[in-house]
């Protein structure tokens, strides 16, 4: 099939994670993404290792971190401080549908590559800025990082075990969500351009994105006025919905209704808890969480992981293992869905560079570029030739 974004060109003036994550999603969906990198240095994350992707000659092809967010792009090296480099960027912008940048607010103005300097010259350009705090407001000039955004946006205060310090999510979730929201904004602006013929300015921020995904926790607070507490792996609105101990580790049980709760109790040999009026509905189970859960946990701990999971699946009670990453990529469902990629690169040891595809399937087509992350400046000559500079 023709990829959904075939024919769309994206100019990426971004580095680290949030901006490149958006660029990679667009590349996976078929866009031609040109990554502009500082001459001689490139994206900072090229050196954010170990681990590094090994090459056949004993050197390396960049840090794994870089390859996590730059699949399917073309790389051109330019010197932003050089007027000639700035001229080339403007020429590339003239032939692009989308520009993504994650400089500090006003950081591209000195190069005359900010939105204000480009919008009139390129009226159809979709210009997307990714910053820590957005283009306006009292914190706009501050630098923003994922850890700060998780803290300031409320995510860390919700995450962790009761009585323990706040905990960040195990991946850079604020960066990732900002990259996703940037992509959504870009796609919406492209659709709007189909109607109006005009480009747009997409302003995305790490803290905005973090606040934006607080979901039911935010509404719980806004409706009740009560401050949520850290409750570890339990759920603020549903019981039982958490991890439970088993004889050989832990599993997850996620009952979403009263019927599933009854089945869970029966499977673990506690039918009396299924019939107890105190626990008959979710409101009662929430009220009596502290006395109910220990009784359930004492029963699950007597069973092995695989035995309990098999019995719960047979009764259609939502449950699952807590996998490490080896188990994730060995999982039959993950394999079947093609989440792990092996992209050909002759210089790489073993001939491929691994990746994780964008989790979108359209008419059976699994969104992923066939090309690995580029070497620094790998496509400089061909890109310059395309714009008449070769």
- Per-residue pLDDT of 160-172, as tens digits, reads 999 999 999 999 9
Residue limits of CATH 3.30.1540.10 in the chain: 241-323
Residue limits of CATH 3.40.50.10540 in the chain: 9-213+336-387
pLDDT at 265: 97
Going by CATH, does the domain composed of 9-213+336-387 fall within 2.40.110.20?
Answer: no
Distance of CA 156 to the CA centre of its chain: 17
Contacts for 267-272: CB closer than 8 Å, 24+ residues apart: 267/308, 267/311, 267/312, 267/315, 267/317, 268/296, 268/299, 268/300, 268/303, 268/308, 269/299, 270/295, 270/296, 270/299
Closest-CA residue to 178 (of 212, 204, 146): 204
Sorted by sequence, the CB contacts under 8 Å of residue 1 that are 6+ apart come out as: 362, 363, 365
Angle CA 307–311–316, to nearest 5: 145
- What CATH number should be reported for the domain whose range is 241-323? 3.30.1540.10
pLDDT at 112: 94
Residues of the chain with pLDDT under 70: none
- DSSP 3-state of 234: coil
Eight-class DSSP state of 202: E
Count of other CB atoms within 10 angstroms of residue 351: 12
Question: pTM score, two decimals?
Answer: 0.95
Q: How many CA atoms lie within 13 A of 202 on its CB side?
A: 29
pLDDT at 50: 97
Catalytic annotation, residues: 175
pLDDT at 80: 86
| Token pair listed for 344 | 């050909």
CA dihedral 295, 163, 155, 221 (to 10 degrees): 70
pLDDT at 125: 98
Q: In 79-153, at which residue ranges do the beta strands (DSSP E only) sit?
A: 98-101, 126-131
């Amino acid at each position: 099939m023709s990829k959904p974004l075939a024919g769309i060109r994206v100019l990426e003036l971004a580095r680290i994670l949030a901006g490149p994550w958006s660029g990679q999603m667009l590349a996976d969906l078929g866009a031609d993404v040109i990554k502009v990198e500082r001459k001689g240095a490139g994206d900072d994350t090229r050196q954010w290792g170990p681990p590094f992707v090994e090459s056949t000659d004993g050197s390396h092809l960049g840090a794994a971190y870089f390859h996590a967010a730059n699949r399917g792009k073309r790389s051109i090296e330019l010197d932003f401080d050089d007027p000639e480099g700035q001229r080339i960027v403007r020429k590339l912008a003239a032939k692009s549908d989308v520009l993504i940048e994650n400089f500090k607010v006003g950081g591209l103005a000195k190069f005359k590559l900010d939105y204000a300097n480009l919008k009139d010259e390129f009226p159809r350009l979709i210009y997307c800025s990714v910053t820590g705090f957005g283009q306006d407001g009292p914190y706009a000039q501050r630098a923003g990082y994922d850890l700060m955004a998780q803290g300031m946006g409320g995510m860390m205060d919700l995450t962790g075990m009761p009585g323990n310090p706040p905990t960040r999510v195990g991946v850079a979730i604020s960066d990732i969500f900002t990259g996703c929201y940037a992509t959504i904004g870009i796609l919406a602006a492209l659709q709007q351009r189909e109607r109006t013929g005009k480009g747009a300015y997409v302003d995305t921020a790490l803290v905005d994105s973090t606040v934006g995904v607080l979901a039911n926790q935010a509404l719980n607070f806004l409706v009740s006025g009560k401050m949520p507490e850290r409750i570890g792996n339990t759920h603020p609105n549903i019981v039982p919905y958490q991890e439970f101990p088993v004889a050989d580790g832990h599993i997850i049980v996620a009952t979403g209704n009263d019927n599933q709760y009854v089945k869970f109790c029966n499977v673990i040999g506690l039918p009396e808890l299924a019939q107890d009026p105190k626990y008959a509905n979710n409101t009662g189970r929430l009220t009596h969480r502290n006395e109910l859960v220990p009784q359930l946990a004492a029963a699950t701990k007597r069973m092995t992981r695989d035995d309990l999971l098999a019995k719960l699946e047979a009764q259609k009670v939502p449950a699952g293992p807590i996998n490490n990453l080896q188990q994730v990529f060995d999982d039959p469902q993950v394999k079947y869905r093609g989440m792990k990629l092996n992209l050909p690169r002759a210089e790489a040891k073993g001939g491929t560079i691994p990746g994780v595809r964008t989790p979108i399937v359209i008419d059976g087509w699994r969104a992923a570029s066939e090309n690995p992350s580029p070497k620094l400046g790998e496509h400089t000559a061909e890109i310059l030739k395309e714009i008449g500079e070769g």
